[in-house]
Structure formats: C-alpha cells, structure tokens
Amino acid sequence: MITKNKEAIIFILNNEILESFSEIKRAIYKIVKTDADRVGITVVQLKTLHLISINPNIGLGDLAEKLKLTNSTVSGVIDRLVCQDLVERAVPPENRRAVSIYLTNKGKGILKFFMSNSLLIKKMNQILNMPEEDIKQLLQLHKNLLSILYIEEEK
C-alpha cells in the first residue's frame, strides 16, 4: 500500500513540475505575443528582427540555426519581412552565392519602438531585481534539470 501511495505522490510531483514549466512558457509567450502585436508583426518576425539587429548581414542558414527553424521556414519569414519593408536581402560582391539580410530603417524603427515599450523587457527587469543569490540558484537548478532531461544521441 505504501508503494502505491509513494508512486502516486511521485507522479503528482512530476506533473506539478511539468505543469509549472508549461505555465511559465505560456506566460512568456503571451508577453512576447503582446509585444509583437503592438508593432504589428508575429512573434517569429519579432525574434527575427532582433537577431538580425545583433547579427548584421547575417545569412539565411545562420539565422535559421539561431531561430532553431528550417531554412525554408526562415526564408518564408524573410519574404514576408521584405514585403513589409522591414528587412532587405543583399548579395555580397565577394560571394555571389550568399545572401546577407539586414534591417531597413523601418525595421530599425520597429525594433526601437519595441525596445522602448516592451512588456517583456519590463518583466525581465523585475526578475533581474530579485536577489542575485536566488537568480544564481534558479539558473543552477535549470542547468541540473537540463543535464537530467537532455537525451544524448545514440552512437
């Protein structure tokens, strides 16, 4: 009888842990979506603009890798951003097979507006105001959990 109760408790705790992660992920997504909606673009487009801003003239493959998306998905995102005049593609003269992507002035303006009005940045500043020791402990716990959850590729 004790074994069944112990198993039930472990199951419930595991569910609470998973649900906690899910709730945090949903809360962050809602905040980022609110920010993206304010500037009239999608969450992926906002992330893309931000990555381009910190990686000027980035190539499509590198951008896809940083976004953890496929090249074809990112190509579609870039197509829509080009149509909105937020980014431009350029072929560098030294490598005519490569394509560099950079922000237009309109794209820079949207990012500037985002940075000064971002709900995510306000919330992250609140988190960063937590005691430093709590933040270090949280990051260490995350590191420990990731080492447990990470699945190594079979050789």
pLDDT per position as a tens digit, 19-67: 899 999 999 999 999 999 999 999 999 999 999 999 988 889 999 999 9
Q: Is the pLDDT of residue 138 over 80?
A: yes
Look at residues 111, 98, 95 and name the one whose alpha carbon lies nearest to residue 63.
98
Strands of the 100-103 sheet, one edge to the other: 58-59, 100-103, 87-90
Q: Compute the average pLDDT of residues 106-121.
A: 94
* Tally of CB atoms within 10 A around 51: 16
Q: Is the pLDDT of residue 153 over 70?
A: no
Fold that domain 2-149 belongs to in CATH: Arc Repressor Mutant, subunit A (1.10.10)
pLDDT band at 97 (very low <50, low <70, confident <90, very high): confident
Look at residues 97, 7, 25, 21 and name the one whose alpha carbon lies nearest to residue 61.
97
Q: How far apart are CA 135 and CA 137, in angstroms?
A: 5
Q: Is the pLDDT of residue 155 over 70?
A: no
pLDDT band at 99 (very low <50, low <70, confident <90, very high): confident
Domains of the chain, by residue range, sit at: 2-149
Tell me 150's DSSP state.
P
Tell me 41's DSSP state.
S
Find out whether 106 and 45 touch, Cβ atoms under 8 Å.
Answer: no
Q: The pTM is what?
A: 0.78
Look at residues 72, 67, 108, 60 and name the one whose alpha carbon lies nearest to residue 87.
108
Q: Is the pLDDT of residue 69 over 50?
A: yes
Q: Compute the average pLDDT of residues 91-118.
A: 88
Cβ burial 134-154 (10 Å sphere, 16+ → b, else e) = eeeeeeeeeeeeeeeeeeeee
The predicted structure's pLDDT at residue 2: 52
